[in-house]
Amino acid sequence: MNRKLNNIFKYLLVSSAVLFLVAVWIIPARAAVDGVMTSNLRYTLTAKPGYISVPDGNSIYMWGYAVGNGNMQYPGPTLIVNQFDTITITLNNELTVPVSIVFPGQTSAVALSGSPGLLTKEALPGGFAQYRFTASQPGTYIYYSGTMPELQTEMGLVGTIIVRPNSNPLTRAYSSASSSFDREYLYLLTEMDPAVHDLVNKGKMDQVDTTTYHPVYWFVNGRSLPDTLLPPLYPTLPNQPYSASPQIRVGDRVLIRMVGAGRDLHPLHLHGNHHQLIARDGRLLSTTGTTADLAEMLFSTSVAPGQTFDSIFTWTGENLGWDLYGHALTDPLVSGFGAGDEVFVQTTLNGGITGGATQLQINTPAAGSWPATAAFRAIIWSGGGFPGSAREVVRLKRTSPGSSTFNILSRGREDTSASAWLDGDSIVYTDHGGPMPVLLPDQQFLTNGMFWSGSPFLGSTAPLPPGEGGFNPYNGFFFMWHSHSEKELTSNNIFPGGMATMAVVEHPDPAIAPFSDIPHITIVAP
């Protein structure tokens, strides 16, 4: 276990290079989901046996779908297709029982060949079956074996299909701008009863009783904590290729694709902020089809069996009540967020802004660089200037491009959280120069975790006791993302483990946190 943990945390310090033994193209993406794409709209999958590793040291017999003649995978390969593509999938069978694939949500799916089965045509042992569908609707979808699914999905024959929209396919989950994202991650959730796998491995499949099902392992993308922190295609997990460790910058819109691929419901909780559910089962939550006007903010999402959910998670530090960067009042602001930048208006207004005022006249050379037409947030200094003077936050917009007269759209004290900013702006932080609301204990009274930078401020470090830290090179904020069912935070009754991972929020300046240089890999099959 110690060796595995060391391997995990080494990855947080350096990027791993991955050598492929099959003919593939490696394409760095915008933190895109890892998966398989084809150049001719044809996929070949093979159902075959294999083993996976779990954190308690056990090795579990599995069935899984493989790409061509490659390793079986748990979960199966994530198939990434484009809207309106007509996809043909050939399923070869190297197992001793018939298998198949069904495609919920793909209304045009047909079985072209194979042996007749209960739900679809099947590939007999040593044989094959072929399927075809047109990906008419963008979204996140599940696929799994339609042959004895109560057993074969438990054994591992399950995966995800991602249909990218016809417009803006790399920045939107659906055609709607409300589904835009900067990064995306897949959370395929499953559970496992190893007694079932042991019976199948011993050739006693007729003794499997699914009514006494008792899972003791829980997975995100086929891995349990701490393996969920390992990078994709990690060499010691050859049959569990997909990672589940989100890396986020402040202000990013992060698309989380959740898939309920087991028999149980899993309440998935994303620490650090609520997330906005925008789609369910590959359909935008919308009355018009053009915007997610039925989206809802959730503390946790109950990911039900067979369902998929798409959510947007954004962390800005809004309304913390303190400056998360540890700035002094005279320090410069964080920039780089376009029209959403916060502007430091270095001017004095005796008495502050007149109560009830709707416009503000500001004459300063810096005003030329402020947004010409977009609204933005500004810090106004009153009295004799800074430091030590009262501050006020306003949202301004020029009365006309180039004008030095600004309409006051909203206002509030910067050093309080009483005035919430609910207009959808990407707020970098709320309290420039605001101190921590608490005094931290002396170092000798603290026990520091290995992700602690020693500082309560994003992008900053401070002295740590010998042997502590070092696993947070860019000094981010770590949040555990996990199931809210307590038993699912174990691996065979060992805590911590199970359906959990760590998400890290990094400083928005790439010079301080250059993690975006670590590519996420998309496998393109020839």
- Strands of 25-29's sheet in order across: 25-29, 520-525, 36-38, 79-82, 158-164, 139-144
Please tell me which of 62-66, 289-293, 380-384, 402-406 the model is most confident about, judged by mean pLDDT. Answer: 62-66
Instruction: Give the integer Cα–Cα distance in Å for 384 and 366.
Output: 19
CA dihedral 272, 278, 283, 285 (to 10 degrees): 140
Token couple for 162: 């991602």
Yes or no: say if 345 and 364 are a contact pair by the CB < 8 Å rule.
yes
396 lies in some domain: yes
Enumerate residues 6+ apart whose C-beta is below 8 A from 108.
133, 134, 136
CA distances from 256 to 95, 200, 247 (A): 33, 34, 12
361 lies in some domain: yes
393 lies in some domain: yes
190 lies in some domain: no
Task: State the average pLDDT over residues 468-472.
Answer: 77
Enumerate residues 6+ apart whose C-beta is below 8 A from 302.
265, 266, 267, 268
Buried b (16+ CB within 10 A) or exposed e, 387-405: eeeebbbbbbebeeeeeee
383 lies in some domain: yes
Yes or no: say if 522 and 32 are a contact pair by the CB < 8 Å rule.
yes
pLDDT at 236: 94
* pLDDT (tens digit per residue) in 42-60: 999 999 999 999 999 999 9
44 lies in some domain: no
Beta strands (DSSP E) in 30-94 are 36-38, 42-53, 59-67, 72-73, 79-82, 86-93
pTM: 0.81
146 Ramachandran zone, left/alpha/beta (phi>0; psi -120 to 50): alpha
List the domain range (segments joined by +) for residue 417.
Answer: 330-436
283 lies in some domain: no
349 lies in some domain: yes
Yes or no: say if 348 and 364 are a contact pair by the CB < 8 Å rule.
no
pLDDT at 21: 23
Yes or no: say if 508 and 515 are a contact pair by the CB < 8 Å rule.
no
Query: CB neighbours (10 Å) of residue 85?
Result: 15
Task: State the average pLDDT over residues 499-504.
Answer: 94
* pLDDT (tens digit per residue) in 312-358: 999 877 667 677 888 765 666 555 433 344 454 544 444 445 556 78
489 has pLDDT over 90 = yes
Strand, coil or helix: 28: strand
**413-422 own/partner pairs: CB under 8 Å, 24+ apart:** 414/379, 415/391, 416/321, 417/319, 417/320, 417/321, 419/393, 420/319, 421/318, 421/319, 421/377, 421/395
Whether omega before 496 lies within 30 degrees of 0, making that bond cis, reads yes
* pLDDT (tens digit per residue) in 275-300: 999 999 999 999 998 899 999 999 99
Residue 63 confidence class, pLDDT cut points 50, 70, 90: very high
Q: Total structural domains in the chain?
A: 1
Sign of CA dihedral 162, 284, 256, 341: positive
One-letter amino acid of 72: M
Enumerate residues 6+ apart whose C-beta is below 8 A from 155.
62, 63, 196, 197, 200
438 against 84, higher pLDDT: 84
